[in-house]
Amino acid sequence: MAGRLVVLALLGLGGFFALRGHIFEAAPSEPAASSTMGWLGGLLLGLAASWLYRLEWSVLGERLGLWAKVQRRRLGWIALGSLCAAILMYF
């Protein structure tokens, strides 16, 4: 299910770029395969598809919660360090 969602999202993204003209900005006489934006857009969409397809979507909420807990600790240490630095600079 998640794999189909990723594929549909990437197809929509590719269509969005094609409609806006970002991928096909090459000269009309130049083939799309040799244009810089054509192969670069295809490469990036392929890499994004392979990365998103192999994500473990069932544990995403747990991983985000753990990441938020780690960031909360880091922000606490930053605030404490900033307070100590402010006191030392003030006096």
Residues 37 and 5 in one domain: yes
The pLDDT > 90 percentage for the chain reads 22
Query: Which of the four pLDDT bands, split at 50, 70 and 90, describes residue 71?
Result: very high
pLDDT tens digits, one per residue of 22-45:
555 554 555 555 556 666 677 777
Residue 89 clears pLDDT 60, i.e. is over it: yes
Residues 48 and 22 in one domain: yes
Per-residue confidence (pLDDT) for residue 17, from 0 to 100: 63
Quote the domain boundaries for residue 25. Answer: 1-55
The DSSP-derived string for 33-80 is: TTSHHHHHHHHHHHHHHHHHHTS-GGGHHHHHHHHHHHHHHHHHHHHH
Residues 90 and 47 in one domain: no
Per-residue confidence (pLDDT) for residue 84, from 0 to 100: 95
The DSSP-derived string for 76-91 is: HHHHHHHHHHHHHHH-
Q: In the chain, how many domains are there?
A: 2
Residues 6 and 26 in one domain: yes
